Every structure is written in C-alpha cells, then in structure tokens.
Structure 1
Amino acid sequence: MTPTAATSTNKPEIDDSVEARILDAALIQFEKVGVKKTTIEDIARQADVDRVTVYRRIGSRDDVVRAVMTREVESLLAELGSISARNNTAEDLVADIFVTVITRWRTHPLVNRMLALEPDRVLPQLTTDGGPMFTMSVAATATALRSAVRNGLLTDSSDLDTRAEIVCRVVHSFILQPHGTVTLDSDDALGAFARTYLVPIITG
C-alpha cells in the first residue's frame, strides 16, 4: 500500500510489491495534478522510494503512465471474469459487459483528467500504441464468452474469438468518439443498444 493516505477515488490495489507501490503512487499523483505536473521525484516521494528505484523498476515517466494505464485496464478486464456468473441469458451478459466497460471508462478519474487536459498522452495508448491493450481486451472478452458457453448461456462457435473482437472494436469506437447521433447517456440506453446491436453479433 502507499505510505500516505490514498486520495484516489479508484482505490489503489493493495499490494506490498515495490512496483505496485510505485504505480499506486503514480495513480494518486496523476489524478491529483495530472501527468505534466507530476515528476518522477513526486512519484518516488509518494511511494516512499528513491527516484532511482522508480527508473529501475518501471522506467521513465512515459513508462509509468503506460504501466498505470495498463494496470487499470487489466483491473477492468478482470472484472469481466465474474460477469458471466451473474447473468442468466446471453442478452443480459452482453449488455452487462457493454455497460460495465463504458461506464467504468467514463467515470474513471484518471481517464477523465487525461482526456480533458492531456489527450496527447492518452490517445496514443488507445490508437497507435494501443495494440497490446486492445489484444488483452479481446482475450478477456472471449474468455468471458467461453465461460458463458460452459454455463449454457451461449452456443459454442468456431469464430467466437472473431465475434469477441468485433464487439471490442465497437466498444473501442465509442470510447474514442463518444459523441454522435446515437445517444448512450444512461445505463438503460447502453443496455438497450447492446441488446439490439451487439447481441446478434455474438449469437449469430
């Protein structure tokens, strides 16, 4: 855990490893003052380590930003693993996944700050440099769908991974460009959209 009081609304992960402490500290600093105003020294002080440790364990500030964002994405994707068990139909499952991902993204304090003040840092992580995270998202979604197959909610298909990727690409587009003619400003609207347009992709 970080040695100082955690003010992050995202509740940093409880982990005693040095890397986790550094990422927890960076997340708090980024949410407080943004990336541009955060230095390696700030992160080191918050994590109660020296700056050399930050460079050795994580890297430069850009490396820290990338590591923090990757961990936040991994945390969200881990949540998808439990979604299958709490739904009784394929329609509910797909809607739940869509609503969960979009709302977590929209309400994440670090994402909101970076998109508003420092889009030049976050956008490459979602586009030109975002291949690894997107691949990770597709894999997590496919895993959730296979769990649904095992639970009898979906019929197995040989192209389930492809269907998962198509849905992820739709979600990705809404993350990159949330404004358009489709109004998805509530959980109900998000769920209805998923049931109408995403469920057919998954179920065929």
Structure 2
Amino acid sequence: MRSGDDLLLRAIASELPDDDQTADRILSAAYQQAEDFGLRRFTMDDVARRVGLSRVTIYRYFPKKDQLMNALLMRELRRFLTRADAVIDAQPTPEAKLVEGLLFCLGFLRGHRLLTRLLRTEPELILPHLTTRAGAVVTAARSWIARHVRAEVAAGRLALPDQDIDMLCELLVRTVISLVITPETVLPVDSPDGQRRLVELYLRPLVASLRPPA
C-alpha cells in the first residue's frame, strides 16, 4: 500500500466512533478554540472550559495535546474527502468530475476558516506542512485523485498510461496548494463566472485530450 493511501485510510478510520458524542463535542470545541485563538495559544484547559467538561474527561479521550490536534486534523481531512468524493461521484463525465471536483476543492480550502486563519496569523506553524515539509500531504492528495482517474481509465472513459496518472494528479495537487497558500491571484477562482471561464479555457480541453479515440 502506498503511503498516500495509508494516510487517507487513517483519516477515515482514526477518528473516534461517530456515535461517541463526548469525543465529537471535544473535537468541535477544539476546532472552535483553534479557530478563535490559533494553535500557539491552544491548551487542553481551554478546550475543557469551552466544552464544559473536566480536564480528566478530556485526557481520558486525548491523553496529549498532540493526540487531540491529530484527531482534529484527521476529522477535518475526513470531512473534506467525504464531501469531495460525493461531488465527484455525482458527475456523469470525466470532464465534469475534474471540473466540479477541482472547483469544490478550491472553494472548500480557500474558504476553510481555520486554515485561512492559520495562514494569516500563524504562517510559521502551517506553511512548512504545505511547502518544504508537504511531502505527505502531496502524496496523500495525489493518491486520492489518482484513484478517481484510474477508475475512469478502467471504465474506458479516459485513455492515459498508468505511469502518467500520478504526474497529472500531482500537477493538480500543486496547483491547488499554490492557490490556497497564496490567495492573491489574477485567476478569477473566487468568481463563479470566472471559474467557468477558466474551466472552458483550460480544464475541458485537457480532459477531452485524454478521451479514448471514438
């Protein structure tokens, strides 16, 4: 199994069970605390006060701050992947899957309140994980996109050599990361009309060129 696949499986499986309402309340409080005050000033005591539970209860679920933060990040990753998969799976053609999937990813990540807060106020904490130390993130995202592309190839809707799939997917990943960490751009990615124009100019022709011969 590739390391990217392993990270994605952890994102899906590592969170505590969905029916554990206490764990979910703790994670929700942790998210709100991080969103309001960032990670540098984030403490377990703050989370306990916000959720209205004792420190003992918090530590029973998450013995260390790092474990709480990891569970929080994994929950956000799982939420993102679940929604993105639903958007992609609902599209009828490879062109639509690429277009709607990419637009969803850009909109979700550029509008993610915690991520944008950290990029604005604590870039030294988050930027290394999206730049010089982004290997795991790039690998996981590339593997996730490649799974969708390989499904289209297997169904005969795309013709792309297997050795080229990962390269295409990594180009998409690095494009999205760049537009997230550097939001200022002449590309109209935050305008619905502008997004559609970009799609018609660049994305649809790309996918059309990968269609198998009629």
TM-score when normalising by structure 2: 0.71
Larger RCO: 1 or 2 (CA < 8 Å, sep 6+): 2
Shift of 1:32: 2.9
Change (3 A) 1:131 1:66: farther
* Structure 2 match to 1:90: 94
The residue number in structure 2 matching 1:76 is 80
| Preserved contact between residue 106 and residue 176 of structure 2 (Cα < 8 Å) | yes
Q: State the alpha-carbon separation in 1 of the partners of residues 132 and 27 from structure 2.
A: 23
Match of 2:135 among 131, 143, 146: 131
Whether 1:161 aligns to 2:161 is no
**Residue ranges of structure 1 left out of the alignment (5+ in a row):** 1-12
Report the more deviating stretch, 115-124 or 189-198. 189-198
Where 1:178 maps in the other structure, the secondary structure is: coil
Aligned position for 2:181: 176
Q: Which amino acid aligns with 1:128?
A: T
Distance 1:152 1:84 in 2: 17
Contact persistence 1:83–1:96 (CA under 8 A):
yes
Q: Which runs of 5+ in 2 are unaligned?
A: 1-16
Structure showing greater Rg: 2
The number of residue pairs the alignment matches comes to 191
Query: Partner of 2:202 in structure 1?
Result: 197
State how 1:54-69 maps to structure 2 within 5 Å. Answer: 54=59, 57=62, 59-60=64-65, 64-69=68-73
TM-score, normalization by structure 1 = 0.74
Q: Distance in 2 between matches of 1:132 and 1:55?
A: 29
Query: Cα–Cα, structure 1 residues 150 and 19, in superposed 2: closer, same or farther, change >3 Å?
Result: farther
Determine the structure 2 residue equivalent to 1:5: none
Once residues 55 and 126 of structure 1 are traced to their aligned partners in structure 2, the CA distance between those partners, rounded to angstroms, is 31
Q: Is the 8 A contact 1:26 1:68 kept in 2?
A: yes
* Separation of aligned partners in 1, 2:62 and 2:102: 34
Identity among equivalent positions (%) equals: 27
Q: CA deviation at 1:91?
A: 1.9
CA contact (8 A) 1:94 1:194 kept: no
The question of whether the paired residues in 2 share the 8 Å contact of 1:148 and 1:154 is answered with yes
Q: Distance in 2 between matches of 1:75 and 1:129?
A: 23
How far apart are 1:101 and its partner, in Å? 0.6
Map of 1:112-123 to 2, 5 A cutoff? Answer: 112-123=116-127
Deviations along 1:62-110, one digit per CA (max 9) or x if unpaired, are x644543343133212223223332122222111111101111122121
